[in-house]
Amino acid sequence: MTKRIPQIEFLRAVAMAGVFFFHIWSVIPEAGTENPLGPLFGDILAQGYLGVVIFNTITGFVLTLPLAARGGVLDLSYATFFRRRFGRICPQYYMALALWSGVALFAATAAGPSLGRCVLEHALFVHTLDPACFYGIVPALWWMGLVAQFYLLYPLLLRLFVRVGPGVALSGIVIGCFGVWGLLEYLSGRFPDSPFGLLAYMLYFNLPARLPEFATGMFLAFRFVAARNADPEDRAELPHPASLALAGATILAVALTVTVKDGLPAPAAHFLVCLCTLSASGLLFALPVTARLGESRLVARLAAASYSFYLIHQPLLGYAAGMLHGRMSPLAAFWVSAVVVGVFAFAGAQLMDRAAAALSSRGDAHKSA
């Protein structure tokens, strides 16, 4: 079992915080302008969705790290690998799906496709392939379909990384995936009445468009193992992660993103924001203070609960925004929602994790009997 890396724990907590505050801003957008910082506050909050990019990269990293330490060998059958991976994510996911499906049934909203259809597609992880359902029930659950696609493709990706090398594999994936997305964007502009526009839009929520984020995590896992296993005299020759080059790359990526992102096609804009996000994350990873913070009990607990927190927090924010609307200023509602929903979602996430652990223990005991 791979020892937890405190920097990863810290980045996981940061990513969840970014998504959380982004979702508060999405339901209380006035707080983004009616505050002492003016529109700048909203511009900062609007970037919180990039926490998903960090989550995707961390997913690829932590899944690959123990395998990279063994030379990239997946010493499991495909069936066993899929059973373990989906066994890790399904308990909490199905709890959240049942909870919010029950709320939707009680609310009896008539708009959109049937609830039964959406529940079935979510349960089978195919909702991101259906434009009518992928934002149904809980919009944030679209990410689960993306993760499932990555798991299904992972054994083949790992073989590619081992066969051609991590650098070549990542380069090919980035060029190929962004190339496919760019081609669809071009075709949608060339043929505006065709389905290419819808395909290009939906691709943002699916593979292959988001595959480079996971593949970057896989690449970094191989690099991390190589650096850790290098001879002491060779380690000094390896580029230091906190070098001026990394800081410069981060500054350049941020400057380019702020300056030209809005005028670029979606694939190019997403490439830039990913470069910016991952450069900044790499810089944080390299800072000694990040490791110290990641070792703290609070950050460790926040990181451990981040998955279940993600699954349940968004609807709570929507209900909180509705209850507070008109009762206080948007900025006050923003912070009240952050505190109250944050506490409730964190407590609910811990309950879900304990229930999932109990189910897992019962399953292991049943197998051993």
What confidence category does residue 17 fall into, taking pLDDT thresholds of 50, 70 and 90? very high
Question: In degrees rounded to 5, what are phi and psi of residue 240?
Answer: -70, 135
**DSSP-assigned states of every residue in 100-137:** HHHHHHHHT--SSS-HHHHHHHHHTT-GGG-TTTTTSS
Q: Contact, 308 vs 348, CB < 8 A? A: yes
Q: pLDDT of 195-205, one tens digit each?
A: 999 999 999 99
Q: Which residues are CB-neighbours of 260 under 8 A, at least 6 positions away?
A: 272
CA 207 to chain centre: 13
Degrees (nearest 5) of the Cα angle 88, 92, 93? Answer: 95
What confidence category does residue 239 fall into, taking pLDDT thresholds of 50, 70 and 90? very low
Other CB atoms closer than 10 Å to residue 107's CB: what's the count?
Answer: 9
* Cα–Cα distance list, 332 to 30, 34, 42, 315 (Å): 11, 10, 14, 19
Token match 């941020």: residue? 254
**Mean pLDDT, residues 62-80 taken together:** 92
Point out the least confidently predicted range of 88-92, 172-176, 343-347, 362-366: 362-366
Q: pLDDT of 282-309, one tens digit each?
A: 888 988 899 999 999 999 999 999 999 9
CA 205 to chain centre: 11
**DSSP-assigned states of every residue in 163-187:** HH-HHHHHHHHHHHHHHHHHHHHHH
* 366 burial level (CB within 10 Å; 0-12, 13-18, 19+): exposed
Other CB atoms closer than 10 Å to residue 187's CB: what's the count?
Answer: 16
Of 253, 249, 252, 255, nearest to 286 (Cα)?
249
pLDDT at 75: 86
pLDDT at 4: 83
Out of 115-119, 208-212, 365-369, give the one with best mean pLDDT. 208-212
Of 258, 287, 213, nearest to 51 (Cα)?
213
What confidence category does residue 96 fall into, taking pLDDT thresholds of 50, 70 and 90? very high
